[in-house]
Every structure is written in C-alpha cells, then in structure tokens.
Amino acid sequence: MNARLSNLRDFLFKENLDAIVINKPENRRYFSGFTGTSGILLISAKTSDLITDFRYVEQATKQATCFKIIEHKQSIIEILAEVIQRNGFAKIGFEGDFFTYNEFAQLAKVTHDIQLKPVELDALRSVKDKLEIDDLKKAVEISDKAFEYILSFIKPGISELEVAVELENYMRKLGSQKPAFDTIVASGIRSSLPHGVASEKKIDDGDFVTMDFGAVFNGYHSDITRTVCVGKATAKQKDIYQLVLDAHLAGEAAISIHKTGKEIDNKVRQIIINAGYGKYFGHGLGHGVGLAIHEFPRLSPLSTCGKLRENMVVTVEPGVYLPNWGGVRIEDTVVVTANGCEVLTKSSKHLIEL
C-alpha cells in the first residue's frame, strides 16, 4: 500500500496538486485497502484521510491502516471541505469520470477560491503487482472450472437464463464473490449480439452458444468468452469459428511491450477484414481487467495508451457477428510479460460440438 501511495504522490507532484479526492470504489480500495461501499479519500504529500460514516469506521480502521479515519455525521462533502480548508490546500484534483456534478457543485460552493482540477487515475492501477496477479489467476481458475462444468449442462430445450444461473451458482460454490458482470449467454441468431445478456430463449440443436462470464476473487475479476455448438457444426459455422480463432491466436501472439494497444488491435482486425468480415467486428480487441471488469489499457482503434508494460493484464477477444445468423467470440485473460504474454485462461479454444 505504501508503494501505491508513493506512486500517487508522484502523480500529485507532476500535476502540481496539493491533494486529491478519490471516491471511485476501485481506486478507493486500491490506494487505501478499504472495501466498504461509502467513503472518500483525501490524499496529499504528507496526509492520508479516509472519510466515512459510522457503519464503516471499525472496518476502515482495520483495513486502511495508513489512513486517518474521519467519521462524518453530516454531509460527507461538507466534512471533506472542512478538512481541505483546515490543511490549507489550494489545488485539489478530483476524479472527473466519477465525481458527480452535484458533488462537484457542492464542493466548489463551500471551498470558494480553491482550484478544482479533474484527473484520471485508472492508469495508475494498470501494472499489477504479484498479489494482484495471484488474485486474478484464482478468479480465472474459477471461471475455467465453471466452463468445463457447464459443457455437461447445456442441451437443447434449456434456456439461456438457466445456463447463466447455473454458471453463476457454480462459480459461487468455487469461491467467487459475485458474477464479474451480467452473464452473457446468447444462442442461435442471438449470438450475433455482442452483449446478448441471457434471455428466456430455449437453446436449439444446431445453435452456436456464446458465453461471456467471469468470477470475482478478492475483488479481482476474470473475463472469459467461449462459443460452442450444440450438435454438429455446419461448414459455415466451422469457417467463421476458425477465422475468429485464427484472429484470437494472432492477437495473443502480438501482445508485446514494444506495441501500443492500437497496433495490436489493427493486426488482428486486418485478419478479419481480409476475410471479408471487417464490418462484423465492431468492438475493440480487448481491455484491461482487475478491480474493475473494464480498465486501462484498451486494445482498440481508439486506444490512447502508449506501449504496453510488463504485468499489465488485458483481454484478447475478437469476434464476428452476422445479423440473423449468429456470431462467435473467443476471449482469454492474459498477463503482459517481457517476451509476450502469459495466457491465464486455460479452457479449450477448439470448436466444441456438444
């Protein structure tokens, strides 16, 4: 935790800030260790304060050992303003992508001449330490075991929703704290929906079934997608699946500390474009994953990240989605290494016919 605070204080110095306000749950947990659902951090070069209410004071005292715990009994923003003024801070950073307009307006009103500057902190979480990678590996292991289990459960006549519930319940039995996100189970023509959250649709013989799901272990998320065929696959299904698999494997091979997120995405996208299906791959190749399911960096045509760094954790998930026919996506979670990447997801990627 001290190393994380040190990095944050380096950021404060570079941004010419006296202090920073943090209330985004993932960043609040990352920099303090506090896992409660309500609280604000105020961190300067020499002080570390955590403001929370009665429900979390004892928990915060045990978890955020590097912080002074301040209990608020009135508006948390009013207490925050008091602490800012008491310390004489003049330039304050806040999380522009999370701090609400009402919170900003209330803070600006009571702090008067203090300068408030929006900042982005998520990139500071992008390089994972050993403990984080260990937690991510455990989350991935849970989702791998869930995929192996669900193959024996899927059959014609059951609904997508039944598959999703079975996946989530099985992961909970294995130690997952909750689903990493709304579980996607999309079958038949619905598999052309990249985010086709499970519905009441019954799975039919001959359907592609795309499952995108994940576990959460100690706050860290896994993210896996596999597409299987119920019954024998047609020639077209095999062709589309092989195209996506080729693109996926090329994506993992392209992961490198010498390349940007945009460069890696382009290499994979070109494979799908050359096959004539470019317009049917409309999302980015991948994203960072950790305390949040979508984190910095992004692997996409719009990626703003520089070259990848060792121990970043990202997904690789190309897909092809044909309206009124179906689609295929294959996704792994990988750790960027000095020489490429380590694929954490172990589930088979060959076309499975159930």
pLDDT tens digits, one per residue of 123-150: 999 999 999 999 999 999 999 999 999 9
For CA atoms 195, 197, 201, 207, give the dihedral sign.
positive
Sign of the torsion formed by the C-alpha atoms of 150, 151, 154 and 160? positive
> Cα 264 to the chain's mean position, in Å?
19
Rounded Cα distance between 178 and 146, Å, is 13
Q: What is the pLDDT of residue 325?
A: 98
Distance between CA atoms of residues 153 and 138, nearest Å? 23
User: From edge to edge, which strands make up the β-sheet containing 286-288?
Assistant: 295-299, 286-288, 313-316, 332-337, 340-343
| Helices 261-274 + 235-254 axis angle, to 10 | 160
Report whether pLDDT(1) > 80. no
pLDDT in tens, 62-79: 999 999 999 999 899 999
- Quick one: pLDDT at residue 162? 98
Distance between CA atoms of residues 48 and 63, nearest Å: 14
CA dihedral 287, 39, 103, 25 (to 10 degrees): 10
CATH number, span 130-343? 3.90.230.10
Rounded to 5°, the CA angle 75-92-108 comes to 50
Domain positions in the chain: 2-124, 130-343
The tokens for 61 are 């005292």
Average pLDDT of the chain is: 96
Question: pLDDT value at position 74?
Answer: 87
Identical fold at 2-124 and 130-343? no
Does domain 2-124 sit in CATH 3.40.350.10? yes
Please check the confidence at residue 42 and state whether its pLDDT lies above 90: yes
Prediction pTM value: 0.95
Q: How confident is the model at residue 112 (pLDDT cuts 50, 70, 90)?
A: confident
202: left (phi over 0), alpha (psi -120 to 50) or beta: beta
Q: Tell me the pLDDT tens digit for each residue of 93-110.
A: 999 989 888 998 888 888
Asked if the model's pLDDT at residue 36 lies above 70, the reply is yes
Compute the distance between CA of residue 40 and CA of residue 76 in angstroms, rounded to an integer: 8
The residues facing 91 across adjacent strands are 115
330 in Cβ contact with 244 (< 8 Å): yes
> Which among 332, 352, 350 is positioned nearest to 342, based on CA atoms?
332
